[in-house]
Amino acid sequence: MELAKFKIEFPDKKGYWVELHSASLMNESMMIHVDNWVRNNRLGKRMAFNMWKLKNEQSRNWFILRWS
């Protein structure tokens, strides 16, 4: 699968949350692909369709580098 790029937002919640947005790539199979990457790298867990709660700032930075 090609490298997908998303707009990443940071919800105002306690912890290290990220939320993905894209005009063309927002489907369940793409979110599963992102979630598999997060779980395989032990960065955090999926909390909603396009939201992840990550373990720490380093995990969030890796997420940003990969998906933005």
pTM to 2 decimal places: 0.89
pLDDT tens-digit series, residues 26-44: 899 999 999 999 999 999 9
User: Which positions ≥6 away from 33 have C-beta within 8 Å?
Assistant: 1, 4
* pLDDT tens track, the chain, 68 positions: 556 789 999 999 999 999 999 988 789 999 999 999 999 999 999 999 999 999 999 999 999 999 99
The dihedral formed by the CA atoms of 10, 11, 12 and 16, expressed in degrees to the nearest 10? -60
